[in-house]
Structure 1
Amino acid sequence: MNPKKESPLKRIWGLAKSEHKRLKLSILLAILGVASGFIPYFCAGKIIIMLLNGTAERNNCIPWLVLALAGSIGKVLLVTYSTSQSHIATYAVLAEVRNKCVHKLTNLSMGTLQNQSLGRWKGILVDQIESMETTLAHLLPEMTSNLLAPLLLLAVLFTIDWKMALISVATLPVGMIFMMAAMKNYPQKYQESVQTGKKMNDAIVEYVNGIEVIKAFNQGKEAYAGYVEAVNANAGFYYKWMKSAQFGMACYRNFSPAVLLGVLPAGMGFYLNGSLSSSQFIMVMILSMGIVGPIIAASNFVDSLAQTGTIIESIETILDAGEQHHPKEYVKLSGTDIEMEHVSFAYEEGKESILRDVSLTIRQGTVNALVGPSGGGKSTITKLIAGFWDTDQGMIRIGKKDIRQIPLAQISEQIAYVSQDNFLFDDTIRENIRMGKENATDKEVEEVAKKAGCDGFIRKLEHGYDTTTGGGGAHLSGGERQRIAIARAMLKDAPIVILDEATAYIDPENEAIIQKAISRLVQGKTLIMIAHRLSTVIGAGQILLVDQGKISGTGTHDELLKQSALYRNMWNAHIGAKDGEQV
């Protein structure tokens, strides 16, 4: 049986653990602030009674007027300070939650990350966490104070006349019945709204990311129609939802505060039969009008509370997600030999395995190539070696150590990974290269750029090394991004280099430059490269032929030509393609 889920309020309080002291102070100040707000009501009642009794002289009224003013000022000061404290605590909590989520992402496998769309990650980390600000900053102090303070006021009414105290809140349950009817399916509706919003976010992200393809294939009308459909579906859902709840909420907001509907006729009846004095009647009328307002204000947070419960569930899908379990303390490695023993791997549990019983050995300081048909598992092998995923079947060792016993940070330090689609941050070229070594000087950055063959085109840019690359490197060509990525890897100076189709976007004129840069990058290091153009790997000391998730052949270029029909066919196809290009 699953453990009972905690209430949203308790889960919010749990998230705000580091700021409990400040939030408790905020709640206390808010309660005192609401209580101070009742003082003018009480003073007004006293003054009206004196007016009716003919005792409203200046000396009698001034103390009550001063007390009313003090209550009003006290409410403003207390509530203001309460709000400031709650906001300070809230922003600290939101920062902490975001930091926890982002830190958690670094410990999740790439599979977990890629199973969710960019729109969903953005929705949780930006939109949903930000939407908790109102709830955290206002719900805890204001909802608590708006519930407790009216109870104190009700207690005062009971000391005056218990019958009138009950009558003063008689309209509240009537209004609550209407609200409950309007809100009966709120959790389900809000969950649907989150899903609808997610689909809209996904559609927007997909439309923006695919704008180049949309324009290239003249699919603007069709693609825009899908985007519009998602946006209209989101708007339509909220319209129908609000329309269905409108009548019930309108009745609630009109019936609940109408306390005088019961207080006036009942009070008049009790006054006429002598069971209620005129001074009591007046005080009950005035004080009763201050009870329901705060309660209605508190009920307004029910909506926020339900929303926050759903948001916290989304946050918890990140914080409670299974991590890659690696130790924190660095371990001693015996060189950089890489071994895979009987490794099988599937990206999702229950899905077909991408790798099946793969075993291989890559010696330190050697040049190794992974070749084979597309989809055979080449990139999967390199990503497992780089620690992007962990496998439960079989073992991977680096430096004689099980990779699962090596901290992720240490694995990252050991490997420079250059893929065919490297990501550049929306920062300067200089800072993108410097990511390979945070404390690198400008001179070191420029020296490594020269070795990578990108210094020339960088200096031709308007701002040189201080040119902003754009989101994902959009301001640069594919080949320019690739050379910057190689420079970044060279600056990292890791003992193991993985090149996943690193020259895929390089034009023939610059390929020779890149090959020289790669030669400098891998000098004296362990190199693993994936290539579809076999002519680029014929000099490798070991070529691993990967086909349908298995290693179907191992050896040098000449050895595989003799031993493997698949490799011979690939080589002949490659040679034929090159001849065709020359023609």
Structure 2
Amino acid sequence: MIRMLLRVLGDEYARAMRRTVILMTTTAVVEGLSYALLVPVLRALLGGTPADAVPWLVAFGAAVALYAVLRYVSDLSGMRVGTTMLRGMYHRLGEHLARLPLGWYDAGRVGEVSALAGRGLLQAMGVAAHLLAPFISALVTPLTIVAVMAAFDWRMGLAASLAAPVVAAIQSRTARATAAADAERHERDREAGGRVIEFLQAQPVLRTGERFRLLDDSLLDAQRASRRTVLATLPGVVGLTITVQVGFTGLLVLGAYLALDGHIGAAEILAILVLAARCADPLLSLSDIGGKLRGARAELARLEKVLSTEPLPEPREPIQLAHHSLEFDAVTFRHGGHTVIDEVSLTVPEGRRLAVVGPSGAGKSTLLQLLARFYDVDAGAVRVGGVDVRAISTEALTARIAVVFQDVYLFDGTIEENVRLGRPDADEAEVRAAATAAQLDEVIERLPGGWATNVGEGGALLSGGERQRVSIARALLKNAAIVLLDEVTSALDPVNEAAVHAGIERLMAGRTVVMVAHRMRTVRRADRVVFLDGGRVAEAGTHDELLDRRGRYADFWNIATAPATRA
């Protein structure tokens, strides 16, 4: 467990963890040794001169005081190590997740990572703070007490030690028996969590009378999995309890026999039985502690699996960009077992606009994602400024690209905080200018909170058009040389569409632009149009050239503009 923890965290935490383990082990040994002083105390109290017990009582009190100090220091050390590791792991996990390719985040992965970053990480990193000390105490203190017993009477010590292999066997068997049940419970809990999110998102549909049976079934499966986990651990709990009770009863019988036969004094047998009783509590707690440790180990294994996922590689010697032209050179990209982009070659000179159109599933949005290096290509090369994006540092590439998606995600905060994400060090005048250019200022004026209005999680408290204006203002404030637009007006009403188009025109001015569009209003303003179908470039040229060819693009244009023509 400790080795896995250090393997996941890194060597920088090894020294502090080893120091804490040594301190906790010393504390447990001192606790066990302090009980050895009960023998001379009871011997003096039951003898002819009870006053002789005073020095031993003082020594016992000093030993207890030393144990209390060590326990405080070791618990404090464990808490500090645990919080330090938790903070470090949050940073490491966050940095690693930010470097993983976007394709890694499928529908089920987001819920899994969310659970791991919340309850899972707390459970795994809580080992040092909450579980390590009681676990070491439950193991070391009884072993120390058995050694003390053996020092006073080897027969009692030998009898007490016979329980150790039985306890170890029970713990090992319980761990094996619960492994499959724990894994199933985790999977069912993950599925149930995803169904709860779906239940919340599907309220408009569900309130029309539909019952969400998928949630009912998943919660029932989670309940059954939890029941199976409890049943799997029950034999271990019962077996451990019986072992401890049988062991104590055996010591009691052996002690009575030795006392009656005159081989051991009454004070010694009484002290040894007190020591045996003290062994019982930590041994009985092993079931609960063991279950928690198994849960923490499972979370650590899942965490290690995430951290072992290879991120997009960073260049050892990044190349600086001299200009901002774009190029796809025989690019092929596969995802989910099929080819999404198939040997696509095209160029966008610096300061020019490229429009990408085509049917759904043609690979249009994937082109933008490859430009922003959300994925790496399987063949060919994507170049920015004549440089392969794989030879550009992620920080440098991100700084030169502004992306406006169709589905805008805003962070739970104020409008101003979301706009400032484009460039956090921008002054107030620059933020206000970006808002005006994006026509966000008229939205701010009608909101009661103005700039301090909270947008809610994901921007849920704003309309789609308002979220788009925030996104455009953010991109304008970033002032990147390359702008990627992904169907930003496809779901907007006419009023918001006109306002967003005005903001987009300001955003595109003087920049290298690649836009994916279903609506044809922005396509006509592009310097070049590419019609994509099945991951291949079916046609390419200017808007007028493609209309004159009367090919796929002309058909697409006629269908898209037919309602407006009839009107």
Match of 1:55 among 28, 49, 52: 49
Tell me the distance in 2 between the aligned counterparts of 1:444 and 1:328. Answer: 35
- In 1, Cα distance between equivalents of 2:157 and 2:6: 33
- State the alpha-carbon separation in 2 of the partners of residues 506 and 244 from structure 1: 54
Q: Conserved in 2, the CA contact under 8 Å of 1:15 and 1:93?
A: no
Asked if 1:106 is matched to 2:98, the reply is yes
Inter-partner Cα distance in structure 2 for 1:135 and 1:299: 16
Cα separation, 2, equivalents of 1:181 and 1:319: 30
Query: Which of residues 128, 132, 153 is equivalent to 1:136?
Result: 128
Q: Indicate the residue corresponding to 2:39 in structure 1.
A: 45
The answer to whether residue 3 in structure 2 is matched with residue 10 in structure 1 is yes
Partner in structure 2 of residue 117 of structure 1:
109
Relative to 1, partners in 2 of residues 1:179 and 1:385: Cα closer, same or farther, differing over 3 Å?
closer
Deviates more, 1:258-267 or 1:559-568: 258-267
Give the Cα–Cα distance (whole angstroms) in 1 for the partners of residues 149 and 428 of structure 2: 75
SS at match of 1:498: strand
Query: Contact conserved, 1:18 with 1:93, CA < 8 A, in 2?
Result: no
Counterpart residue type for residue 56 of structure 1: P
Partner amino acid for 1:316? E
Measured in 1, the distance between the counterparts of 2:54 and 2:450 equals 76
| Alignment CA distance shift 1:358-1:451 (3 Å) | same
Shift of 1:381: 0.9
Corresponding residue of 2:507: 521
Are 1:188 and 2:180 matched, yes or no?
Answer: yes
Does 2:150 align with 1:150?
no
Alignment of 1:302-341 (within 5 A): 302-327=290-315, 330-341=318-329
Deviations 1:454-488 (A, max 9, x none): 10121111110110111111111001111111111
Contact 1:179 1:249 in 2 (8 A): no
- Label 1:131 to 1:220 Cα distance change in 2 as closer, same or farther (>3 A): farther
Q: Is the 8 A contact 2:411 2:455 kept in 1?
A: yes
1:381-400 per-residue CA deviation (whole Å, 9 max, x = no partner) reads 11111111111211111111
After superposition, what is the alpha-carbon deviation per residue over 1:473-509, rounded to whole angstroms, capped at 9, x for unaligned? 1111001111111111111111111111122233222
Partner of 1:169: 161
Q: Is 1:19 matched up with 2:13?
A: yes
Quote how far apart the aligned CAs of 1:219 are: 5.0
Query: Aligned equivalents of 1:496 and 1:245: distance in 2?
Result: 58
Aligned residues with identical type, % of pairs: 28
1:3 aligns with none
- Asked if residue 260 in structure 1 is aligned to residue 248 in structure 2, the reply is yes
More deviation in 225-234 or 36-45?
A: 36-45
1:433-460 CA distances to partner (integer Å, 9 max, x unpaired)? Answer: 1111110122211111111111012111
Note closer, same or farther for the CA distance 1:38–1:484 as it changes in structure 2 (3 Å cut): same
C-alpha distance in structure 2 between counterparts of 1:337 and 1:247, whole Å: 68
Tell me, in whole angstroms, the C-alpha distance in 2 between the residues paired with 1:66 and 1:103.
Answer: 55
SS at match of 2:90: helix
Partner of 1:507: 493
CA distance in structure 2 between the aligned counterparts of 1:151 and 1:174, rounded to whole angstroms: 14
CA distance in 2, matches of 1:457, 1:83: 54
Query: Secondary structure at the residue paired with 1:421?
Result: coil
SS at match of 1:290: helix
Q: Residue in 2 aligned with 1:202?
A: 194
Counterpart AA for 1:54: G
**Structure 1 residues 537 and 99: CA distance shift in structure 2, 3 A:** same
Distance 1:73 1:359, change over 3 A: same
Change in Cα spacing, 1:471 to 1:213, as seen in structure 2 (3 Å) is farther
By how many angstroms is 1:546 displaced?
0.7
- In structure 2, give the amino acid aligned to 1:113: Y
Residue 129 of structure 1 aligns to a residue in which SS? helix
Structure 2 residue runs without a partner (length 5+)? none
> Does structure 1 conserve the Cα–Cα contact (< 8 Å) formed by 2:251 and 2:273?
yes
Moved more, 309-318 or 258-267: 258-267
Tell me which amino acid in the other structure corresponds to 1:81: V
Listed one character per residue, the Cα deviations across residues 369-391 of structure 1 (whole Å, up to 9, x for unaligned) are 11111111111111111111111
- 1:310-340 Cα offsets, whole Å, 9 max, x none, are 2112112221112111226542223111111
In structure 2, give the amino acid aligned to 1:140. Answer: L
Partners of 2:146 and 2:171 in 1: how far apart? 22
2:64 matched to which residue of 1? Answer: 72
CA 1:24–1:175: 2 relative to 1, 3 Å? closer
The alpha carbon displacement at 1:174 in A equals 4.9
What is the CA deviation profile of residues 180-208 of structure 1, one whole-angstrom value per residue up to 9, with x for unaligned ones? 55544111111111111111111112222
Per-residue deviation at 1:9? 3.2
Native 8 Å contact 1:25 1:82 kept in 2 = no
- Aligned residue pairs total 566
CA shift for structure 1 position 123 = 1.0
Aligned to 2:79, which of 74, 87, 99? 87
CA distances 1:273-296 after superposition (whole Å, capped 9, x unpaired)? 444344543443333333343344
Mark the CA change 1:555 to 1:13 in structure 2 (over 3 Å): closer, same or farther. Answer: closer
Q: State the TM-score, normalized to the length of structure 1.
A: 0.91
Aligned 8 A contact 1:340 1:359 in 2: yes
2:344–2:536 contact (8 Å) kept in structure 1: yes
Per the normalisation by structure 2, the TM-score is 0.94
8 Å contact from structure 2 (residues 156, 251) kept in 1: yes
**Structure-2 residue corresponding to 1:34:** 28
Aligned to 1:127: 119
**Pick aligned residue for 2:237 from 245, 249, 252:** 249
**Compared with structure 1, are the counterparts of its residues 498 and 149 closer, same or farther at alpha carbon in structure 2 (3 Å cutoff)?**
same
The answer for the alignment partner of 1:428 in structure 2 is 414
Q: What residue number does 1:5 align with?
A: none
1:559 Cα deviation from its structure 2 partner: 0.7
Q: Is the 8 A contact 2:182 2:229 kept in 1?
A: no
CA distance in 2, matches of 1:332, 1:248: 62
Kept in 2: contact 1:38–1:290 (CA 8 A): no
Asked if the contact 2:185–2:226 (Cα under 8 Å) also holds between the matched residues in 1, the reply is yes
Aligned partner of 2:257 among 245, 265, 269: 269
Q: What are structure 1's unaligned runs of at least 5 residues?
A: 1-7
For residues 322-369 of structure 1, the C-alpha deviation after alignment (integer angstroms, 9 at most, x for no partner) is 211122654222311111111111123xx1101111111111111211
Secondary structure in 1 aligned to 2:530? strand
Report deviation, 1:554. 0.9
| Shift in Å, 1:160 | 2.0
Q: Within the alignment, does 1:469 sit opposite 2:469 as a pair?
A: no
Is the contact made by 1:367 and 1:541 (CA closer than 8 Å) also made in structure 2? yes
Alignment partner of 1:496 is 2:482: yes
Supply the AA of the counterpart residue of 1:122.
S
- Give the conservation status (yes or no) of the 8 Å contact 2:45–2:53: no
- Offset of 1:213 from its aligned partner? 4.1
One-letter code of the match for 2:64?
Answer: S
Structure 2 distance, partners of 1:140, 1:241, is 23
Tell me, in whole angstroms, the C-alpha distance in 1 between the residues paired with 2:248 and 2:320: 79
Q: Which deviates more from structure 2 when the two are superposed, residues 291-300 or residues 559-568?
A: 291-300
Cα deviation, residue 247, structure 1: 4.5
Cα distance in 2 for partners of 1:545, 1:360 equals: 11
d(CA) in 2 for partners of 1:31 and 1:361?
A: 66
Aligned CA RMSD, in angstroms, stands at 2.3
Question: For 1:117, what is the secondary structure of its paired residue?
Answer: helix
Give the distance between the partners of 1:546 and 1:356, measured in 2 at CA.
10
What is aligned with 2:88?
96
Does structure 2 conserve the Cα–Cα contact (< 8 Å) formed by 1:341 and 1:396? yes
* Alpha carbons 1:341, 1:359 under 8 Å: kept: yes
Cα distance in 2 for residues equivalent to 1:184 and 1:399 = 57
- Distance in 2, matches of 1:22 and 1:219, equals 58
Secondary structure, aligned partner of 2:104: helix
Taking the aligned partners of 2:368 and 2:172, their CA distance within structure 1 comes to 57
